[in-house]
Amino acid sequence: MSAVKVGVTGAAGQIGYSILPMICSGQMLGADTKIDLALLDIPQCEDALRGVAMEINDSAFPLLNSLKYGSDPREILRDLDIIIFLGGFPRKAGMERKELLQKNMNIFKEQGTALNEVGKPTTLCLVVANPANTNCLVLAHHAPNIPRKNFTAMTRLDHNRASFQIANRVGALTIDVKNVAIWGNHSSTQYPDVNHGTVRGGAIRPAVNDDEWLNGEFISCVQKRGAAIIAARKLSSAMSAAKAAVDHVRDWYLGTKDGEWVSMAVLSDGSYGIDTGLCYSFPCTCSNREWHIVQGLDINEFSRDKMNLTKQELTEERDEAFSA
């Protein structure tokens, strides 16, 4: 079996430092899959990136087939099978959302243009850098040579957070929780939905037996978990974000388990009344390296209101990002 070519942007950052050992040790693509690793970061981070590369080499990962790194996207992103986009412009104190969107649009416009020139029609792209949904939309817009179905943004971290909260509430393990769903934006408007999920094989709502908590504190906790981690750690989520990205790619590339779905932000096909083309998180299954939105789920009025709220935010982000 030939090696899989995996690229990581923003590779010198803290999420990169967490995700690279996971990729190289087989957690993402399996214990028998060799990896050709390509690392990209901005010129100002090249020394740090060189240090990361030294550590990867010094770790002597048996699955690492080759390693290259640099700051030229046209060189580093060429002919890759999978690219995880970690690099973006972080929000700073006093920065308006529109300014953050504009700075990231410029980054993802540049990377999308390069990807359009050197990528493959089969390249799978996961955007993690925030605002992830809209960054993904911008990237896809500027790389029209790659099918739009090959672009996704990460809400798996929110999915994993929701699963933990349910497991913790009922004294179960996270592995016992199946089919929670994250709808919408990777932001504080996202809607973590348990109405179709199970814990220990039974429906979540009767198992928790506390609708007030499920419709209030649970949702708020998942929505604001990232801020809570920053408050406690003085740094944003890195290890959990890296693990979620690995989970996302693994299920996309190798397929989801029968009867189970995961949450992925994808370019909408109009399902559930979400505008076609909007990068919106849905429950998805994966097979043959393609995602499929789960169809036919009953959406109650409470859920529809939450789904529309996050759709509105994403619509505003899209319009702001493309207004310049």
Catalytic residues: 186
Q: Annotated binding residue at 41?
A: yes
Q: Is 11 annotated as a binding residue?
A: yes
Helix axes 46-58, 14-24, angle to 10 degrees: 30
Angstrom distance (rounded) from CA 266 to CA 8: 19
CB 186 within 8 A of CB 217: no
What's the distance, Cα to Cα, between the start and end of the chain in Å?
46
- CA–CA distance, 20 with 37 (Å, rounded to integer): 9
Per DSSP bridges, beta strands 181-183 and 4-9 are unpaired
How many other CB atoms are there within 10 angstroms of residue 297's CB atom? 17
Annotated binding-site residue? 50: no
Ligand-binding annotation for 211, yes or no, is: no
319 is in an annotated binding site: no
Tell me whether residue 289 is annotated as binding.
no
> Is 270 a known ligand-binding residue?
no
* Cross-strand bridge partners of residue 193: 181
318 labelled ligand-binding: no
Q: Which residues pair with 191 in a beta bridge?
A: 183
**Residue 50, number of CB atoms within 10 A of its CB:** 15
Residue 97 counted as an annotated binding residue: yes
> Residue 295 annotated as binding?
no
Is 104 a known ligand-binding residue? yes
Type of residue at 263: S
Alpha-carbon distance of 249 to 196, in angstroms, equals 23
Residue 277 assigned ligand-binding role: no
Per the annotation, does 10 bind a ligand?
yes
Token readout for 103 is 């700075």
Q: Which residues contact 178 (CB under 8 A, 6 or more apart)?
A: 197, 198, 199, 259, 260
Number of Cβ within a 10 Å radius of residue 270: 11
Instruction: Check the annotation: does 16 bind a ligand.
Output: yes
Known binding-site residue numbers: 10-16, 41, 91, 97, 104, 128-130, 161
Known binding-site residue numbers for NAD(+): 10-16, 41, 104, 128-130
Known binding-site residue numbers for substrate: 91, 97, 130, 161
